[in-house]
A = this chain, B = another copy of it.
Amino acid sequence: MDPITILETRERILAEQNADGDKLRGELTGKGVFFVNVMASPGAGKTTLLVRTIRALTEQGYRVGVMEADVDSAVDAETVRRETQARVIQLHTGGSCHMDADMTARGIDRFGVEDLDVLFLENVGNLVCPAEFDVGAHLKVMLLSVPEGDDKPLKYPLMFEVSDILLINKIDTAPVFDFDFAACEERARKRNPEMEIHRLSALTGDGFDSWVAALTDRIRAFQAETAHP
């Protein structure tokens, strides 16, 4: 058979916002606030992950804040506030498909982070656009849920390239989906050889300990470097 015809419909446009991201990151470092950008498709389980993660961090004495970014509604912020002790704000993106450094800085300015050790941004549910924008985070975490399929690193490469940690979520549903973990992880590492990968279920807690341990290690290293708290 002939090869599939592939047409490039547009030149790749990468946002040049790194300067703004660096500036914001520097300010947060100065305040000793470890900033984590959480990205994923709609419905991959970001909020459930955050709730369980925040509880684990709170138990260890960390003071946690969450910025929930959505096109509309406040359902995620309400969930986080109901289920955790974290301080939370809902950011509306005005229809935008992602957060950038400027929008994030405005959110942080309004939210106030001086009393926090760890700040999470739950980005807009989107596997494309958020990958292009440096929001000033110290750590980029992406979720991929089992129901989405193991081919996603092939189709959304930039998100896998820019993320430090991949969490493969909803492993409790693996019996009803045809998901090849080894193939998915190989595809992800082909895009990003340094990527750290954990398999877990934010719903049941399976696999959660190793993720929380990895996150806590990074927070401790950050605090040691910045002499906080």
**A binding-site residues for B, Cβ under 8 Å:** 1, 4-14, 41-43, 69-78, 81, 88-97, 99, 103, 106-107, 110-111, 124-129, 132, 145, 147-149, 151-152, 154-158, 170, 172-173, 176-177
Contacts and interface: CB of A to CB of B under 8 A. Distances in A.
Contact of A125 (B41, B73, B132, B172): B41
Nearest to A9: B103
Nearest to A173: B176
B177 A4 contact: no
Contact of A103 (B10, B88, B89, B111): B10
Contact of A71 (B94, B124, B128, B170): B128
Contacts of A93: 9-10
Contacts of A172: 176
Copy count, this protein chain? 2
A120 to B, nearest CB: 16
Contact of A90 (B6, B10, B11): B6
A191 to B, nearest CB: 10
B126 A71 contact: no
Given A95-B12, A151-B75, A156-B71, A90 B43 contact: no
Contacts of A145: 43, 147
Given A157-B72, A170-B147, A7 B91 contact: yes
B7 A106 contact: yes
Given A12-B94, A75-B155, A97-B128, A7 B110 contact: yes
16 contacts: A4-B78, A4-B90, A5-B89, A9-B69, A10-B94, A10-B103, A12-B95, A13-B94, A14-B95, A41-B125, A43-B148, A71-B128, A72-B154, A97-B128, A124-B128, A125-B128
A170 B128 CA distance: 23
